[in-house]
Amino acid sequence: MGQDKKQLTKLLAFVKEIYDHPDNKEFAEGIREMVLSDKDFQERLKEIVPGADPESLKRIEKYLALDFEIDEKIFPDYSVIQDEQARTQLTSDFREMLRYQYGTRSHKIDFAEFCRYAHLQAEMLVNYYFEKKFGGDIDQIVAAIQAYLPKYKPYEGLTEVSGIAFKTKLYYLRNIFKWSANDINIYLHTADVRNKQSHRSLMADKDLIRDTEDKLKAAGAWNANLGAPVFKKNEEGVSVAVAVVGQDILNEYNFQVWFDKQPFGSIISGLKRLLDKVASSI
């Protein structure tokens, strides 16, 4: 039974609004699966949009952010994750992450949202490691962490590994996997993006970057060849750069420089590296 074309147009706009909202991932996935599996989809679109030709259909696909090309991208091999629910969620989050990289989710590239979904995967992989390695025994997990981080004190009533701070678990894995500080920066930075994003809209703070570099250059704590702060220690045993601007400012500067570069590829490589380590260690 035919429907009024104006009503269908309004319906299309309403569906797109729901589809674009990050909280409606399952609905969006259902739309894509329906479209991909329906051989008569283009014919039905022609009924809804009279005179629709292949180019028009492509524009409709773009408008709805159906992103079929995402299916052609190389995903991490999450098949090594034995838990079906975790495996499905990881794959879904990776797909959603790519939509923000290629701008198909909201018709714009969004590095902050890309980082948020990267962190969700990293956090799930880290929790999965502890659950499988220690059989979910929270006392064993706490004891293992304290062997490397003696100052760690769990809060009273801790019953699940998800209740342990992500950074605490990550520092433990750094020791187990024998990673350097630089190796874990990607996971720390994406976690920072998630935390900062919950408080405000996140954009690179170019003023902070410029002001910090000006202070470091004026104090002779800038390596012109590397285009980076001088980290060697002074007579007091403190990093030259830290002595000039302080550790907190330097940490924020390093984050802002990283965020400004928007290293999509490095984050994807970092996820694959974490997956490989987790899979081979449990």
Q: Please report, for the chain, the start and end positions of each structural domain, with discontinuous segments joined by +.
A: 1-66, 67-281
192: helix, strand or coil: helix
The fraction of the chain above a pLDDT of 70, given in percent, is: 76
pLDDT at position 235: 81
Q: Is the dihedral of CA 110, 114, 115, 120 positive or negative?
A: positive
Measured in residues, the chain has a length of 282
Name the E strands within the chain: 222-223, 228-229
Please give the Cα distance from 26 to 189 (Å, whole number).
27
Q: According to the model, what pLDDT value does residue 73 have? A: 58
Give the closest residue to 109 by CA, choosing from 56, 67, 72, 58. 67
pLDDT > 90 fraction of the chain, expressed in percent and rounded: 57
Q: Are 189 and 111 in contact (CB under 8 A)?
A: no
Q: Which residues, other chains included, contact 111 with Cβ-Cβ below 8 Å and sequence gap of 6+? A: 100, 259, 262, 264
Neighbours of 192 (CB within 10 A): 19
Whole-prediction pTM:
0.74
- Assigned token pair, 237: 């045993």
Q: What is the mean pLDDT of each run of 10 residues along the chain (282 residues)?
A: 62 72 69 57 56 56 53 74 93 90 82 96 97 95 96 93 96 95 94 83 86 95 92 84 93 94 95 95 88
Query: What is the distance of C-alpha 261 from the center of its chain?
Result: 15
Across-strand partners of 223?
228
Euclidean distance between CA atoms 62 and 64, whole angstroms: 5
Amino acid 40: pLDDT = 56
